[in-house]
Amino acid sequence: MRLTIIILAFLLAACSANSLTTEKASEPGERIEFTGRVIHVELEGGFYGIEDQAGHHYLPDHIPPALRRDGQPVRVKARPAPPAAGFRMWGRRILIEEISAP
């Protein structure tokens, strides 16, 4: 009986771990603006992501072909993407509104 209670307590703690994170989640309509660089990620067949100057990773919905170069500096205006299932476990999903070379 004690073992069952201990296991349930650990499961409850694990399920509520999201409430302990310190990073502030963006509101759905909140605009994100940053400068970073395009990087080619060699996971799951390869894809392009964006890394900002603080080292945060973003997974954009699209990057124009002219900017798809590893190391390409970019200026980005975007919004957080709505929650969705995906197979790329890398970075924060964003919807690009504007992207350009600085």
- 3-class secondary-structure state, position 71: coil
How confident is the prediction for the chain on average, in pLDDT? 84
Tell me if the domain spanning 25-100 has CATH number 2.60.120.620.
no
User: What integer is the mean pLDDT of 9-18?
Assistant: 58
Round to whole Å and give the CA distance between 26 and 24: 6
Q: What is the pLDDT of residues 29-58, one digit of tens each?
A: 799 999 999 999 998 889 999 999 999 999
End-to-end Cα distance, the chain? 63
DSSP H helical ranges for 1-102: 2-15
List the chain domain ranges. Answer: 25-100
Helix (H, G, I), strand (E, B) or coil at 55: coil
The yes-or-no verdict on residue 28 having pLDDT over 60 is no
89 has pLDDT over 90? no
Question: What is the mean pLDDT of the segment spanning 1-9?
Answer: 72
Q: Is the pLDDT of residue 21 over 70?
A: no
Would you state the pLDDT for residue 14?
A: 62
Provide mean pLDDT across the span 58-65: 96
Kindly state the percentage of the chain with pLDDT values over 90. Answer: 59
